[in-house]
């Protein structure tokens, strides 16, 4: 493995992951090595079962590898306690899920604010940050609506605002365009590109969507848990 560099956010070093199904271990990743640097806009693609979501779950400290090393901002996740992993997820990693995962009884404002509230940020800072983000994602004036009062695209925008509210090192987006129409998908990608360009937010997507792959400046293709192709566009 190469020497770590200041702008490296994520490193996977010969990572394997298997899941137990009955009496059989089924491999999801088979010796994956990958480095992601600050400001990248990266798509993980590949057929179903190739290991895309597993890779995001490992980077996001939602799961542990069977072997190998996962390092986020210089910290090897395998050496962290459960509490430290929880703090890492809260403070340094943003998540955008395919199913939005908004809290149904909370408003758009409250959903976007939740990470900052968990961190104990002062009310004035929370309000300023959340209102600016909701305006940035095109939801100004809708902050008091609950998820069931928002369209799918609007819910995903709330999820994006929530993901970046705490200024994470990296945002992990699992099939973020899967449940919205084509026009909404393009608008979401415009938004994420703008956040990447203007705020330096690092994005890693798992996706089947050619539109996401077309927008990504780096495309990493996985097949059967292995790296098949890695290309960066200038």
Tell me how far apart the 2 most distant CA atoms of the chain are, in Å.
Answer: 54
Is there a contact between 225 and 192 (Cβ–Cβ < 8 Å)?
no
pLDDT (tens place) for every residue of the chain, 234 residues total: 444 456 999 999 999 999 988 888 899 999 999 999 999 999 999 999 999 999 999 999 999 999 999 999 999 999 999 999 999 999 999 999 888 899 999 999 999 999 999 999 999 999 999 999 899 888 999 999 999 999 988 998 999 999 988 889 899 999 988 878 888 888 889 988 988 998 888 999 999 999 999 999 999 999 999 999 999 987
pLDDT of residue 4: 45
- Crossing angle of helices 123-136 and 108-118, rounded to 10°: 130
Phi, psi torsion values for 182, nearest 5 degrees: -60, -45
**Residue 177 placed within a domain:** yes
Give this prediction's pTM.
0.89
**Residue 5 placed within a domain:** no
**Residue 156 placed within a domain:** yes
Number of domains in the chain: 1
**Residue 213 placed within a domain:** yes
**Residue 54 placed within a domain:** yes
Tokens representing residue 34 in the block: 């990958």
pLDDT of residue 137: 87
Q: Which residues of 99-128 are buried (b: 16+ CB within 10 A; e: fewer)?
A: ebebeeeebbbbbbbbbbeeeebeeeebee
CATH number at residue 175: 3.40.50.300
Q: Give the residue from 220, 213, 206 showing the smallest Cα distance to 171.
A: 206
DSSP 65-83: -SEEEEEETTEEGGGS-HH
**Residue 159 placed within a domain:** yes
DSSP 119-183: TT--HHHHHHHHHHHHHHTT-TT-TT--GGGS-HHHHHHHHHHHHHTT--SEEEEESTTTTS-HH
Residue 124: give the domain boundaries.
Answer: 40-64+86-232
Beta bridge partners of 7: none
**Residue 11 placed within a domain:** no
Q: Give the residue from 117, 158, 155, 116 showing the smallest Cα distance to 136.
A: 158
Distance CA 80, CA 222 (A): 27
Pair type for strands 170-174 and 93-96: parallel
**Residue 131 placed within a domain:** yes
């Amino acid at each position: 493995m190469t020497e770590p560099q200041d702008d490296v956010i994520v490193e996977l070093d010969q990572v394997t992951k298997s899941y137990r199904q009955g009496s059989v271990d089924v491999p999801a990743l088979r010796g994956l090595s990958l480095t992601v640097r600050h400001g990248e806009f990266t798509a993980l693609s590949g057929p179903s079962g190739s290991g895309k979501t597993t890779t995001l779950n490992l980077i996001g400290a939602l799961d542990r590898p069977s072997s190998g090393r996962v390092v986020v901002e210089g910290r090897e996740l395998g050496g962290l306690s459960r509490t430290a992993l929880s703090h890492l997820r809260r403070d340094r990693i943003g998540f955008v899920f395919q199913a939005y995962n908004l809290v149904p009884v909370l408003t758009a404002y409250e959903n976007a604010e939740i990470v900052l509230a968990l961190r104990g940020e002062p009310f004035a800072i929370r309000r300023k940050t959340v209102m600016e983000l909701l305006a940035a994602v095109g939801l100004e004036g809708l902050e008091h609506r609950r998820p069931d009062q928002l369209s799918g695209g609007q819910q995903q925008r709330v999820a994006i605002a929530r993901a970046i509210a705490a200024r994470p090192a990296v945002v992990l987006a699992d099939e973020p365009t899967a449940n919205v129409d084509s026009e909404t998908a393009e608008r979401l990608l415009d938004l994420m590109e703008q956040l990447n360009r203007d705020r330096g937010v690092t994005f890693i997507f798992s996706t089947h969507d050619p539109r996401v792959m077309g927008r990504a400046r780096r495309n990493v293709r996985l097949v059967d848990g292995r790296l098949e192709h890695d290309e960066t566009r200038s």
